[in-house]
Structure 1
Amino acid sequence: MLIVRDLEKSYRSGGHQLAVLRKVSFRVDAGETVAIVGHSGSGKTTLLGLLAGLDRPSSGTVELEGTDLGALSEDERARLRRERIGFVFQSFQLIPTLTARENVEVPLELRGTPDPARARDL
């Protein structure tokens, strides 16, 4: 389960604070599928980065399976991403000689997930 509460993210730009996300709150239950849609520049990529623990929010919380990502160290967030989060970046960063499925399987292979468990995780 993913719970997002009052999530905010702002950046300094030209001596001013630029608010990208303001008071975003939602919940995604296990097995539920959601889509994040919006115009270019509306904060979708920023939101995904916060949900994956790639960045820290200015305020608010992201809780994944009962763990507050903001309370984790950088190393703990990296471990969480490695073990529990799949992410394909906008610029893809894929290995061109592999299929889409093989690219998705790479982190599972690196963490030593056996084939039957790997199929379940995908």
Structure 2
Amino acid sequence: MSAIIVDGLTQRVRDADGWLTILDHVSFRIEGGQSAAIVGASGSGKSTLLGLLGGLDRPSEGSIGIFGTQLTELDEEQRAAWRARNLGFVFQSFQLLPQMNALENVMLPLELAGRRDAEPLARQLLDRVG
């Protein structure tokens, strides 16, 4: 089974002049264990594609399957639950809560997921990244 299957992915947004097509019928497969890079000029749709792959938004057309889950068939609440169980984002800029220390920031999603071992696991993860 392919890890990621994208078929006919199109994303349009409304702008002052009508509709702007950001992604136009993009299709690809990424197999388990395969590495892939998303590269392109500024404004070419890289962040839009990543947001769609992460279930942050719904495409105008097309389908996204990740390890057998059809993201395009999930509603917003289901996509949020799927992200919480299956996905992590690494942003270019820090997305930490400033009133919390590093340990508390790492513990927060673990606690929201109901992990009783949130603190020792967060400490272990922080030790791994230095």
TM-score exceeds 0.5 = yes
Report the alpha carbon displacement of residue 33 of structure 1 after superposing the two structures with TM. 1.6
> Alignment partner for residue 42 of structure 2, among 25, 30, 40?
40
For structure 2, the residue ranges without an aligned partner over 5 or more in a row are 126-130
Within 5 A, what are the aligned runs for 1:55-94? Answer: 55-94=57-96
CA distance in 2, matches of 1:84, 1:104: 16
Q: Secondary structure at the match of 1:50?
A: helix
Relative to structure 1, the CA distance from residue 10 to residue 91 in structure 2 (aligned partners, 3 Å threshold; closer, same or farther) is farther
Specify every segment of 5 or more residues in structure 1 that has no aligned partner in the other structure, as ranges: none
Q: Which residue of 2 aligns with 1:14?
A: 16
Give the structure-2-normalised TM-score: 0.75
The root-mean-square deviation of aligned C-alpha atoms, in Å, is 2.4
How far residue 74 of structure 1 moved from its aligned partner, in angstroms, is 1.1
Residue 98 (structure 1) aligns with: 102
Structure 1 residues 37 and 75, CA gap change in structure 2 (3 angstroms): same
CA distance in 2, matches of 1:38, 1:77: 27
Structure of greater Rg: 2
Q: Distance in 2 between matches of 1:113 and 1:35?
A: 35
Between the aligned residues of both structures, percent identity stands at 50
The alpha-carbon distance between structure 1 residues 104 and 48, as it changes in their structure 2 partners (threshold 3 A), is: farther
AA in 1 matched with 2:28: F
Stretch moving more, 85-94 or 69-78: 85-94
Question: How many pairs are equivalent?
Answer: 115
Moved more, 44-53 or 63-72: 63-72
Compare 87-96 and 61-70 and name the one that shifted more.
87-96
